[in-house]
Structure 1
Amino acid sequence: MGKFLAALIIVCAVGAGAGIYYLNEYAYYEEVELHPGLDVALLPLDSEEPVAIAYDEFQAIDASSSPIRYRACFTTPLKRYEMAHTYTLSDQKTPRIAPRWFDCFDAEAIGAALEADTATAFLSAKNISYGVDRIVVVTDDGQGFVWHELNNCGKKAYDGTVVGESCPDLPEASQ
């Protein structure tokens, strides 16, 4: 009887682990519907409205389960050092990891490029969802990457601390 219970516990643990892995890696993700000419935008230094930039080979995934699951890859003919004079920079240096099967988005390589100063991070949009900003990174070779990141208001809202007056009003909870 003891061997049977031990085997049952192991089978349940393996099944639960496989289920959690599947849910994190595959479930909920969907390809993003493309909007040619509008999918990649950056926030100009003198404006609060994002402006579309030139890009090609765009592919993106998102999930309705979380506002920070968005990932995208693209190419651009624009030079990052020229873009830095026109668009708002971001101090974000750590991209969020994408599912393994979305192989164009390598968070470690993007982070290394940002640290090595061969890539620049830009702010695309503030509060794309409450407390979440869209970050765009462009490398020296014209590769581009996009992800969503919690801003200060989002970090405060999700950890339960008081958000303060500098943050927009929290959205009403759906009933």
Structure 2
Amino acid sequence: MNGKLVVGSIVLTALAAGAVVYYMQEYGPYAAVSFTPGAEIVLTALSGTPEPIPVRDIQGIDGNSSPLKFRACFVTEQSLATLTETYRVYEAPTPLNAPGWFDCFDADRIGEALDSGEAVAFLSQANVVPNSNDVEIDRVVAVFPDGRAFAWNQLAPGTEK
């Protein structure tokens, strides 16, 4: 009987530890992002100045364990034609996967749309995380023709270590 109690407590402890590790990997590093009304998302104009764009239905996450954890989903009313005439197109967009529970952000779908030309990527801000160990991190925004848009941070092209 004592052996069953010992084995049972070991199994329960292992299950509890596994649950904690899973939670800390999947949910722990992320927190909801608070956006400043009127300046939620910026795009870099052709002149080089970041400018806020009007958006709605914005939701985002970020984490302090890595500058690459930022993700956001939103809708913009500006047309792709207006955006491409006004803001810098980003030449090497690479959407990064979001945690499974942040289901508005599908990196594979966004990447396919960018590759096919269905969506267009814009530079939101260059070097959005200053002083990050000589690695430049850009914020990128991909916009679909229907106004759905997605933002993420990625390593700037040519700065990979």
Query: Aligned partners of 1:126, 1:144: CA distance in 2, in Å?
Result: 18
Contact map agreement 2:93 2:140 (CA 8 A) in 1: no
Cα distance, 1:21 vs. partner? 3.6
Q: In the alignment, what sits opposite 2:86?
A: 86
**Structure 2 residue runs without a partner (length 5+):** 1-5
CA distance in 2, matches of 1:24, 1:154: 27
1:133 aligns with 2:138: yes
2:23 partner SS: helix
SS in 1 for 2:61: strand
2:148 partner amino acid: Q
Q: 1:38 — aligned with what?
A: 39
> What is the Cα deviation at residue 18 of structure 1?
4.9
Would the aligned equivalents of 1:93 and 1:115 in 2 still touch at CA under 8 Å? no
Residue deviations 1:96-130 (CA, integer Å, cap 9, x gap): 00111111111111111112211000001011113
Shift of 1:79: 1.1
Q: Which of structure 1's runs of 4+ aligned residues deviate more than 3 A?
A: 14-21
Q: How many residues align?
A: 149
Task: Indicate the residue corresponding to 1:62 in structure 2.
Answer: 62
Partner residue, 1:143: 148
Cα deviation for residue 28 of structure 1 reads: 1.9
Q: Does the CA-based 8 Å contact 1:87-1:122 persist in structure 2?
A: yes
Counterpart Cα distance in 2 of 1:21 and 1:123: 34
Contact map agreement 1:32 1:62 (CA 8 A) in 2: yes
**Residue 110 (str. 1) matches residue 110 (str. 2):** yes
Matched letter for residue 47 of structure 2: D
1:136 and 1:66 mapped to 2: Cα distance?
19
- Structure 1 unaligned blocks of 5 or more: 157-175
Distance in 2, matches of 1:68 and 1:24, equals 15
1:46 to partner: Cα distance? 1.2
Q: Is the Cα contact below 8 Å between 1:32 and 1:59 reproduced in 2? A: yes
Identity of aligned residues (%): 40
Name the amino acid aligned to 1:46: S
Indicate the RMSD between aligned Cα atoms, in angstroms. 2.2
Does the 8 Å contact 2:58/2:74 carry over to 1?
yes
